[in-house]
Amino acid sequence: MGALVLTLLVAGGPAAVAHDQHDSAGTASEDRSGAQAGDPQQRGRRAPAPTGNHEQVVDLTFPVSPEARYWGARYSYFNDYVQPRRRGDHGATDVMVDTGTPIHAVVGGTVGLITGLGCGSAAAGALDEPPAWGYAIRVDGDDGREYWYLHFGTNDGPAVEAYAPGITCGSVVERGQHLGYAGYSGNATEPYPHLHFEIHDPAVRAPDGSHRINPYFSLRAAEQRGDYPGDINPGDIDPAHAAIFLSGPVGNPQAASVPAPLVGDWNGDGHATPGWRIGDRFYLREAGAAGHTDAVVSFGLPTDQPVVGDWNGDGTDTIGVRRGDRWLLRDTNAPGAPDHDFVFGEGAEDVGFVGDWNGDGRTTVGVRRAGGEWFLRDELADGEADHHVVFGRADDAVGIVGDWNGDGRTTVGAWHPDGRWLLRDVLAAGYADRSFDFGQHEDAVPVVGDWNADGRTTVGAVVAGDEWLLRNEHAAGEGDLTFAYGPAPGVPLLGDWNGDGIDTPGWRIGEHFHLQAATPEGDDVVVHYGRRAGDIAVVGDWNGDGHDTIGVWRDGRFHLHDELAAGTAVQVVEFGEDDDIPVVGDWNGDGRATVGVRRGDTWLLLDDHADTEPDHVFVFGREPADEPFVGDWNGDGRDTVGVRRDGRWLLRNTLAAGNADVVFAFGDAPADVPVVGDVTGDGRDTVGVLHDTLWSFRDAHSDGEPTVTVHYLGVPPEAADEASSAD
């Protein structure tokens, strides 16, 4: 695999590679198929030879609408039929969609099994409680095939919230009919909601001995001919479901799946500093400066709206979420059950806010309604509003709150998209006490906080996705504090962690490497390796065993480890100077990655870590305008070099000076972070870009749209391995 070059690692700011961290296909398909021990149909066993076309195209309707979304982008899927799981190949296609996305029948038929409602055989998991693979439906198609839909709803929700109204055992469904709502029930996980979709045909014998058709080709055909289900009547959506999945914004008009900037005093030092919420995770930075995330906390659902406040008056801001009219708040920045759980407001019609309205040192909640009406509560409990204020025009302003004069009480304000701020010092109707312009940018998102710990809340704006412009005075002027801190959770990585020939994503967050599909069973892992300050992550197959592992570059030395585990470096290679950019690759095609550096526009590369002088020295690209990369562009087993310049990729097929062999455009520079890897397993590295948390790759060296996309945020922080490492 082409090893990663390091410029992509120091950049700021982000067919789908939809990774199941769970074991849905393995466990579920064994239980459902009725295969016995020793039967070649059992998952993970290989039958003598296929007796049918398991890649045939079945005439079906795509199961979600063309407008279906996943983490702020379009729905995604890829050919993951043979992707490994704990008990064999996947045998299905995962369609990645946001929690609550309506799922439709791909063909007409009869509901033969629906879990959680006691329908079907007990062996298939049709009990009052759903089996390990969660809420699921089997439709016995009119064409003689079985169509399986897994992971409706959530693990903590009842079956009635997972399925469409009227869908039950024996229901006759038409092609395109609404079946239920996508989610993460069973052994799926909250950050990756999706539909796990299988087709069973008794006339087919697949290579693994099962009767499973690969759904990918049928889904692609439906997509290409525009065969999508019709729209759902909003009246068909159950109100209980809507309250969970379709709640409105809190203090920010962005959708829940879009990264949202946060502000809080995370360590109690009096300074408000930045953060982001991406999916169900809070990424918190304890300094008002560029740098790595200091804490990652998983709390709530991806569709919840984030809130931040000092709920218990201890001087430290902690996290919370609003779900419809329900508020769930934590007193510590750590995963766990909510410390405060109550109802206030009227749900999706309200916009939620938090503040210390009475000056008692504790943050409580409030809502703003159409017409600029504010309803504020002094207790973290069910009840009526303690304060009712009218301020601002709801039609053209975004509500904001803060302690503008430092008297210890939070009051209200408004921000207009033209950069105008209107602030009120008392909780009463009236004219603004302060008005000024700041942060006039088309893409600005307003933020407020006490940036200098003087006891007063002042204003700021996040522009261009990750640039924070913060002002210490209530007056027009330049930002007093400016820095970049983006929604990406850390430093992006790509590598073939499990030796299957396919590169999958990873992140380095602080001192932890979060790696997707890093075991033969397809599990994610977290490895604590290296030191945080000054380290640059590198990835490569250092010993030639076919698995990429990790390393760091620090002070002109590469510290390389042969296992995805904590420990000391197996190899320490001294090469390069402090101002160099480290790169790694298999320069001579011997199957082992070795190190190198780019110094200005000159590349210096080692074929053997025992050498002290570079084996390859040449000039390619411009410095500092170009971003350097490494990859096996033509599949000959040798890594060569490339650069990205103003959104164009220039790739060279030999380790020598000369013109680029391939030139094409892909991605939106400079907004996207470039990445490189072999994400299809064809032996060639291709290019990709990372935008927020969406990884998009092109499987050809030519202009065009992405052909592979994936969302990956890293392993939930509570699952991280806290083992230490000297390296």
pLDDT tens digits, one per residue of 384-434 = 999 999 998 755 578 999 999 999 999 999 999 889 999 999 999 999 999
Residues 692 and 646 reside in one and the same domain = yes
- C-alpha angle 422/425/431, rounded to 5°? 50
pTM to 2 decimal places: 0.53
pLDDT band at 111 (very low <50, low <70, confident <90, very high): very high
Dihedral sign (CA 553, 558, 563, 567): negative
d(CA 125, CA 645): 55
Query: Would 3 be classed as within a structural domain?
Result: no
d(CA 727, CA 718): 23
pLDDT surpasses 80 at 263: yes
Q: Cβ distance 655 to 616 under 8 Å?
A: yes
What's the CATH code of the domain at 102?
A: 2.70.70.10
Q: Identify the CA nearest to 356 among candidates 297, 309, 420.
A: 309
What is residue 234's predicted lDDT score, i.e. its pLDDT? Answer: 35
Three-state DSSP class for 619?
A: strand
Given 416, 449, 484, which residue is the final one in a domain?
484
Q: Cβ distance 523 to 534 under 8 Å?
A: no
Query: Would 145 be classed as within a structural domain?
Result: yes
Residues 312 and 361 reside in one and the same domain = yes
What is residue 297's predicted lDDT score, i.e. its pLDDT? Answer: 84
Q: Which residue has the tokens 């075991």?
A: 519
Residue 249: both structure tokens together: 């914004």
Cα dihedral 182, 186, 189, 195 in deg (nearest 10): -30
Query: Would 652 be classed as within a structural domain?
Result: yes
Lowest mean pLDDT among 318-327, 632-641, 685-694: 685-694
pLDDT band at 257 (very low <50, low <70, confident <90, very high): very low
pLDDT in tens, 311-327: 999 999 999 999 888 99
Average pLDDT over residues 152-160: 83
Average pLDDT over residues 254-272: 79
Average pLDDT over residues 95-102: 89
What's the CATH code of the domain at 330?
A: 2.115.10
Q: Cβ distance 270 to 278 under 8 Å?
A: no
* 265 vs 127 pLDDT, higher one: 265
Lowest mean pLDDT among 138-142, 331-335, 414-418, 623-627: 623-627
How many separate domains does the chain show? 3
pLDDT surpasses 70 at 128: no
Query: Would 250 be classed as within a structural domain?
Result: no
pLDDT in tens, 473-516: 999 999 999 987 876 667 889 999 999 999 999 888 777 888 88
Q: What's the mean pLDDT when you consider all of the chain? A: 82
pLDDT surpasses 80 at 48: no
Residues 455 and 560 reside in one and the same domain = no
Residues 188 and 286 reside in one and the same domain = no
Query: Would 17 be classed as within a structural domain?
Result: no
**Pairing between β-strand 627-631 and β-strand 640-645 as defined by DSSP bridges:** antiparallel
pLDDT surpasses 80 at 453: yes
Burial class (CB in 10 A: 0-12, 13-18, 19+), 301: buried
Given 484, 501, 525, which residue is the final one in a domain?
484
Residues 499 and 412 reside in one and the same domain = no
| Residue 538: strand pairing partners | 551
Query: Would 14 be classed as within a structural domain?
Result: no
Residues 496 and 439 reside in one and the same domain = no
Give the residue numbers spanning the domain of 622. 491-719
Work out the number of other CB atoms within 10 angstroms of the CB of residue 52. Answer: 14
What is residue 346's predicted lDDT score, i.e. its pLDDT? Answer: 87
d(CA 380, CA 391): 23
pLDDT surpasses 70 at 606: yes
pLDDT surpasses 80 at 187: yes
706: amino acid identity, one letter = P
pLDDT surpasses 50 at 235: no
What is residue 84's predicted lDDT score, i.e. its pLDDT? Answer: 64
pLDDT surpasses 70 at 28: no
Query: Would 591 be classed as within a structural domain?
Result: yes
| Residue 619: strand pairing partners | 602
What is residue 393's predicted lDDT score, i.e. its pLDDT? Answer: 72
Overall size of the chain counted in residues: 727
pLDDT band at 103 (very low <50, low <70, confident <90, very high): very high
Residues 643 and 715 reside in one and the same domain = yes
pLDDT in tens, 651-686: 999 999 999 999 999 987 666 788 999 998 999 999
Residues 173 and 84 reside in one and the same domain = yes
Q: Cβ distance 272 to 692 under 8 Å?
A: no
pLDDT surpasses 80 at 231: no
The dihedral region occupied by 71, where left means phi > 0, alpha psi between -120 and 50, and beta the remainder, is: left
CA atoms within 13 A on the CB side of 489: 32
Residues 361 and 470 reside in one and the same domain = yes
* 188 vs 459 pLDDT, higher one: 459
Residues 224 and 289 reside in one and the same domain = no
pLDDT band at 181 (very low <50, low <70, confident <90, very high): very high
Q: Which residue has the tokens 């009869």?
A: 110
Residues 392 and 513 reside in one and the same domain = no
d(CA 253, CA 481): 25
Residues 566 and 704 reside in one and the same domain = yes
Q: Cβ distance 31 to 113 under 8 Å?
A: no
Lowest mean pLDDT among 278-292, 358-372, 543-557, 713-727: 713-727
Work out the number of other CB atoms within 10 angstroms of the CB of residue 293. Answer: 21
Cα dihedral 511, 318, 277, 65 in deg (nearest 10): 130
Given 450, 468, 484, which residue is the final one in a domain?
484
Average pLDDT over residues 329-351: 89
Q: Cβ distance 214 to 93 under 8 Å?
A: yes
Query: Would 47 be classed as within a structural domain?
Result: yes
Lowest mean pLDDT among 70-84, 327-341, 689-703: 70-84
Average pLDDT over residues 169-177: 94
Average pLDDT over residues 222-241: 59
Work out the number of other CB atoms within 10 angstroms of the CB of residue 722. Answer: 8
pLDDT surpasses 60 at 543: yes
Average pLDDT over residues 30-37: 31
